[in-house]
Amino acid sequence: MLFGFSQNAGEEPVTTRAPSPENKIIKRVWIKASSEVVYKALTDAKELVRWFCDQASCDLREGGELAARWRAGKASQKGRARFTRLIPNASVELLWIDDGRGAPEPDSGHTLSYEIRSKSGMTELVMIDMDESAPDEETYSILDSGWNSVLMELKEYCERRERSAKLRGRSKASGGPAE
C-alpha cells in the first residue's frame, strides 16, 4: 500500500492513502531547521534519545548499526537496524535487522529511508517505510498514527535545536553571555 503524509509550513498534516503493490508508507514534513540539524537528529545517538527513544547507540557508517530501546512503564522494546546508505545532510537508509519481536532478521526486507532536502530556508524530509509484506487495516492505522507522531516529534525537536543555535550565535556575536 502507498500511504502519504504531507505537511506544508504552517498547515495541519494531511494524510492520504492509495493502493500500491509497493508496500510503502511515505510521509513528508517541512522542518524550520537546517539539513545538518535534521541529519544529526536522525543519526547521532545523543540526539536520538532527546526525541525518539530512551537509549541509543550508533555506529555511523554504511554497514554500521543503530540500536534503540524504548520504555513504556515496566515494559521495554528494542530494535536494531543496519545503515545501508548515508549521505551526510542528504540521505539515511536503514535495514531493520531486529524489530524487537523475536529473532533477528538479517535479511528482513524492511527498510526505512529519509531523504533530506533544503528548500526555501527550510528542510523537506521525506520518509519511506517499506516492507515486503502489506500491512492489514489495523496495522496500517497504528503505523500511520505512529509515524505522524514520530515525525512531529522530530520536527519540534529540530526546530527547537535550530532556534537555540541561532540564539547562541546572536548572543556570541553581541558579546553577551552564551547559553
pLDDT of residue 69: 94
- Write down the residue that cell numbers 537509549 correspond to: 55
Closest by CA position to 15, among listed 109, 152, 110: 152
Angle between helices 137-173 and 35-43 (to 10 degrees): 120
pLDDT of residue 18: 47
pLDDT tens, residue by residue, 155-171: 999 999 999 887 776 66
Whether the per-residue pLDDT at 19 is higher than 50: the answer is no
Mean pLDDT, the chain, integer: 82
What homologous superfamily does CATH list for 2-173?
START domain (3.30.530.20)
Domain boundary assignment for the chain:
2-173
Which sign, positive or negative, has the C-alpha torsion 48, 142, 89, 38?
negative
pLDDT tens, residue by residue, 98-154: 766 555 555 667 899 999 999 888 999 999 998 877 777 787 788 888 899 999 999
pLDDT > 70: percent of the chain: 76
Task: Give burial (CB, 10 Å; 0-12/13-18/19+) of 114.
Answer: buried
| Spatial strand order in the sheet of 111-119 | 14-18, 2-6, 24-31, 122-130, 111-119, 91-98, 75-87, 65-72, 55-58
The reported pTM is 0.80
Asked if 13 contacts 30 with a C-beta cutoff of 8 angstroms, the reply is: no
